[in-house]
Amino acid sequence: MKQLLISDGTTAAGAYTAGLLGPGAVDVVGLSADGHTPLVGGETIADYSAIRLIQGTAAGRANVVSPWIDGSSVSRWAGQSYAAQTAQASTLTFATVPSAGGAEMSIKVIDRAIGQAQFQRASASYTTVAGALTVHAVTINLFSTLTGVALGNIAAAANVAIPGMDRVVAQVNSTNAGGTASVITLTGNIFDSDPYSVLASFQSASENLNGDFGTTLTVAATGTPTLGNGGDGNLIVELEASLQGMGRGYYDRVQLPVVPPAYAVAATTYDLYKLGFGNAAPGSIRGVDNSRDITIASPAGDADGAVFEGKINPWLNSCPGSFAAVVL
């Protein structure tokens, strides 16, 4: 089972009121005779045999809490500093073109992001005209056909939507008038939560442009699509939404659309801490649900991340697994 706790960078020190942690704070508490006691940096398993992670929510709302985590059950402790998503990008560079008119050539772009048919695709073709046999003419005409932008309206280095494709845009390196266009650049979207868009993954193909009719076209990848470390705010928004059934009962989203509060912010970038442990939950069936994974998302580079590390690292290092400190 997975759980996500989200900090907004609020410090947890002295932030409890009537047992409720201040909004936006994430804290570590130890199991004590009083129920729970906030950990102090340097405390170990000798001080508390079990800990719990707590997220403050909003005034009057209950804390979000993890199960009690026994030190002997911890199996994983890791962290990742924020790393940005990267978009796929490819360049189509034209070096030579046909020496006579009447040569038909084409390019096609196919977005494979969803992993199944029907793939989004777009294509463009151009037949060379005698007297206009230049790299520029071929490049600019194929770009115009692909994007639907009239020849007289093409702006250099401006990303233009490709009709029929939601996640890939195109640009060319020169305007039409008196230009020296030779490169079409295709760039995919990164993941976005609103409006929703998956990470684009596309390929391009061509006909009569790879040595045919004396042409030379070079296709080069200039960007590889990745989700970074998963700490992009859009990805945390999506992860939070996917886990709202656990602990919040948000399963029937059609008949009972009572949306629980959300705490991830799409515009925020996050460092991620990941804690894995076994949990013999009461009522579990032959080990089902005994493996737990908790992700703690903290604003990237925020000073409160160091405070959190100072509390949890010594305790985890003292566990039977002797987990190395995570410092982001």
pLDDT tier, 16 (very low <50, low <70, confident <90, very high otherwise):
confident
| Cα 130 from Cα 271, distance rounded (Å) | 58
- Name residues whose C-beta falls within 8 Å of residue 1's C-beta, 6 or more positions apart in sequence: 246, 289, 291, 292, 293
pLDDT tier, 299 (very low <50, low <70, confident <90, very high otherwise):
very high
* Tokens matching residue 18: 């009537």
User: Would you kindly state where each structural domain of the chain is located, as residue ranges?
Assistant: 2-83+229-317, 89-223
User: What pTM was computed for the model?
Assistant: 0.87
Q: Does the structure show a pLDDT above 90 at 28?
A: yes
Q: Does the structure show a pLDDT above 80 at 185?
A: yes
* Tokens matching residue 255: 């008949």
Dump pLDDT digits (tens) for 81-129.
999 999 999 999 988 887 778 888 899 999 988 777 778 899 999 998 8
Could you write out the DSSP letters of every residue in 238-283? HHHHHTTTTTT----TTTS--PPP----TT-BEEEEEEEEE---TT
Side chain identity, residue 199 = L
**CA Rg, the chain, in Å?**
27
